[in-house]
């Protein structure tokens, strides 16, 4: 299932406003991650990867897509690292 175009557009517009207001890159990344987690938890259907890919593909502006990809990739890396630590702890 794909998120509605309006859902993605509202997030893109919010990021556009944040960039125009000179909001820092870490704050924009934090917003995107909060937005994604909220929709993931609210919908119960979408997973992190599907929703992040849908958002990135909906970005027409390459710099906006790059910011989103960096934000979502960092979050995904943190999750993988956390899961690895949990696996190691359970194995010992």
User: What pLDDT, on a 0 to 100 scale, did the predictor assign at position 82?
Assistant: 39
Mean pLDDT comparison of 2-11, 25-34, 41-50, highest-scoring range: 25-34
User: What pLDDT, on a 0 to 100 scale, did the predictor assign at position 84?
Assistant: 43
Question: What is the total count of domains within the chain?
Answer: 1
In the chain, how long is the greatest CA-to-CA distance? Answer: 50
| pLDDT per residue as tens digits for the range 32-75 | 889 888 888 888 888 888 888 888 888 877 777 777 788 777 65
Instruction: Tell whether the model's pLDDT for residue 21 goes beyond 70.
Output: yes
**pLDDT category of residue 76 using cuts at 50, 70 and 90:** low
Tokens of 53: 């890919």
Give me the domain span that covers residue 57: 5-91
C-alpha dist (Å) from residue 39 to 4, 28, 36? 12, 17, 5
What does pTM read for this prediction?
A: 0.68
């Amino acid at each position: 299932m794909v998120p509605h175009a309006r859902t993605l557009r509202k997030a893109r517009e919010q990021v556009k406003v944040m960039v125009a207001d000179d909001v820092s890159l870490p704050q924009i990344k934090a917003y995107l991650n909060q937005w994604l987690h909220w929709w993931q938890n609210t919908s119960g259907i979408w997973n992190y990867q599907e929703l992040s890919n849908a958002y990135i593909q909906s970005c027409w502006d390459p710099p906006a897509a790059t910011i989103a990809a960096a934000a979502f990739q960092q979050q995904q890396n943190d999750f993988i690292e956390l899961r690895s630590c949990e696996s190691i702890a359970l194995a010992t």
